[in-house]
Amino acid sequence: MTSNPDSAKILRKAFNTSYSLFTTSITIFPLLGMFGTVIALLNLKFAPAETNMEDIKNNFFNALTSTAWGIVFSVVFKSVNAFIVSSVNDTITRIHEIVQEIESKDKKKKKVKTAKEEVADE
């Protein structure tokens, strides 16, 4: 790990952002499935003269398939999240502690430098 607090902060922010995007995807997949369902159902022609059972069957199958895939991916990502969440939280906490340690060392160095300058001025 670098002794630059800015680099550690950038790493922490990147890690938080990546994990946030991952957890957000868990809720986006079912929404995408619902969106696919709506699109498939909107393709149906509801006028009685235009009713074709093959079109209805295909669009209904597409609607159910998109919903199913949304649920499948959501469950997979939620399961993965259950395995990694504690490690991610530990890593975020450790990065935060490292940033604080680096900043604390920098403050001590500045105090020592200031004290040495004051002694040199006397």
Mean pLDDT of the chain: 81
Phi, psi of 92, rounded to the nearest 5 degrees: -60, -45
Question: CB under 8 Å, gap of 24 or more: what pairs does 72-77 form?
Answer: 73/29, 74/26, 74/27, 74/29, 74/30, 77/22, 77/25, 77/26, 77/29
Q: What is the pLDDT of residues 47-77, one digit of tens each?
A: 565 667 777 787 888 888 988 999 999 999 9
Whole-model pTM over 0.85: no
In the chain, what are the domain boundaries?
5-121
Report, in angstroms and rounded to the nearest whole number, the Rg of the chain calculated over CA atoms.
28
| Interval 71-100 mean pLDDT | 90
Q: What is the pLDDT of residues 4-51, one digit of tens each?
A: 767 777 888 888 899 999 999 899 999 988 898 888 878 776 656 566
User: Hunting for tokens 């060392």 — which residue is that?
Assistant: 105
